[in-house]
Amino acid sequence: MIPIASGDGFSGWHALNDTVMGGRSQGSCQVGPQGLVFDGLLIEEGGGFISCRSPLFSPPLDLSGCEGLELDLVGEGRRFKLALACADGLAGLTNLIPGGLRWVIEFGTDMEGTTLVRIPFNALRASVRAKPVGLPLRFDPARITRLQVLHSRFADDGGLNAGFRSGPIHLELLSIRGYP
């Protein structure tokens, strides 16, 4: 296992909510001894997402020796997305795409207690602003520049998230690690 963040190791993570596109959802991240805590109010009209994301990894995080990521989190039965940004190896051309290219996957959480989620890299889908990208792109686990956990009204396939709920939201991200 390769630890990425746990406990107070989530320093620098911050909220990014739908206000960046005119929405009205509100949320904030706090780092504590148990991990990252996100509390907020999700408003569907005008946007419909909240998220917490890492600072930029510089140099990029190299997880080339890993098969995927494991997350321990408390998500109260909601469906979330994990989004990874990567240095693209194309002279930064994908960074010119508004909203940026992300590698995403949707996952569920248990109604109570901690959920362990295992995400294989080969299951990630290329996406731009919640819409799948049909280009022949390959995820590179050696060039991860950012991690983000989102609760959005859109699923990873661009359709509606069946587990989406507006209103108060509470998320605890306890740890993230790469698994072999």
- The predicted structure's pLDDT at residue 136: 61
Sequence-ordered list of residues with C-beta below 8 angstroms from that of 60, at least 6 positions apart, any chain: 86, 87, 142, 143, 144, 145
Looking at residue 19, its amino acid is: T
- The predicted structure's pLDDT at residue 129: 65
Burial class (CB in 10 A: 0-12, 13-18, 19+), 122: exposed
The residue written with tokens 């909203």 in the block is: 99
Instruction: Provide the domain limits for residue 60.
Output: 2-179
- The predicted structure's pLDDT at residue 156: 74
Task: Report the candidate in 25, 23, 147, 42 with the shortest Cα–Cα distance to residue 85.
Answer: 147
- The predicted structure's pLDDT at residue 91: 47
- The predicted structure's pLDDT at residue 88: 66
Binned average pLDDT, 10 residues per bin, the chain of 180 residues: 94 88 86 94 83 94 97 94 82 52 91 97 83 72 94 81 86 96
Report the number of distinct structural domains present in the chain: 1
- The predicted structure's pLDDT at residue 30: 95
Alpha-carbon span 146 to 23, nearest angstrom: 23
Question: Could you tell me the pTM of the whole model?
Answer: 0.86
Q: What is the CATH number of the domain that holds 68?
A: 2.60.120.430
Asked if omega into 60 is within 30° of 0 (cis), the reply is no
